[in-house]
Amino acid sequence: MDVLVVGASPRPGGNTDLVCEYLTKRFSELGLNPVTVMLRSFRIQPCRGCRECLRKEFCIIEDDMRILVDYLLRTKAIVIATPVYFNSVPSILKAFIDRTWCLRGRLRNKVGGVVAIGRRYGHEQAVNTVISFFLKHEMIVGFRGVCLYAFESGEVLNDVEGMRDLEKLARRIHELLKILELGTSRASEVS
């Protein structure tokens, strides 16, 4: 797996799903191996702050986050597409982010990308939440947060400039993965 595309909308068939479809298709066309997950399909309980993961390095809550953690550890890049809810991200994405505390240090140097889809306000705050998540994990932020403007299902495709940025994000993630691949092979030549 090269890229994990994470869809964070609770609504099936909405704009976020369209963005995920677009990204998955483009990554495949660029020769990458993407896997797409919709968070709404998984049972993700909120972090309890119990701190057990500080001792055990895994989360003690038994739910579907274990499946998602496995994906996160296996992928080289993570691209999160999120709707804007109240100038921020929906609770399901925040729960997902909080539950990665147990992965401290293990997502390091993976490439991250973020797309925020909303009607009008709060994209930047949603983007910042996701970029803070990437940086906390010492990941590489691959591209500026792409902001798309849409409300009803399907409207996202009318945001021509935003869709152009989505294409740039896909290409940049592809480029960075190629550069990192080269770096890794050179590093193994030296060692």
Ligand X SMILES: Cc1cc2nc3c(=O)[nH]c(=O)nc-3n(C[C@H](O)[C@H](O)[C@H](O)COP(=O)(O)O)c2cc1C
Site residues (vs ligand X, CB under 6 A): 9, 11, 14-16, 83-87, 117-122, 150-151, 153
Region label for 31, one of left (φ > 0), alpha (ψ between -120 and 50) or beta (otherwise): left
Q: Among residues 111, 175, 178, which one has the least CA distance to residue 142? A: 111
To ligand X, the closest distance from the beta carbon of 17 in angstroms equals 6
Residue carrying the six token digits 């309890």: 48
Q: How far is the CB of 165 from ligand X (least distance, A)?
A: 16
CB nearer to ligand X: pick between 16 and 24: 16
Q: How far is the CB of 66 from ligand X (least distance, A)?
A: 26
- To the nearest whole angstrom, how small is the minimum distance from the Cβ of residue 14 to ligand X? 3
Strand segments, DSSP code E, in the chain are 3-7, 34-38, 77-83, 111-118, 140-141, 146-149
Residue placing its CB nearer to ligand X in the complex, 106 or 119? 119
C-alpha angle 189-1-25 in degrees, rounded to nearest 5? 120
CB of 82 to ligand X, least distance (A): 8
Report yes or no: 76 and 139 within 8 Å, Cβ to Cβ.
no
CA distances from 175 to 5, 80, 103, 109, 140 (A): 17, 18, 26, 15, 13
Name which of 91 and 104 has its Cβ closer to ligand X. Answer: 91
Select 83 or 110, whichever has its Cβ closest to ligand X.
83
Cβ-closest position to ligand X: 14
Cβ closest to ligand X, residue 11 vs residue 66: 11
Phi first, then psi, for residue 114 (nearest 5°) are: -140, 140
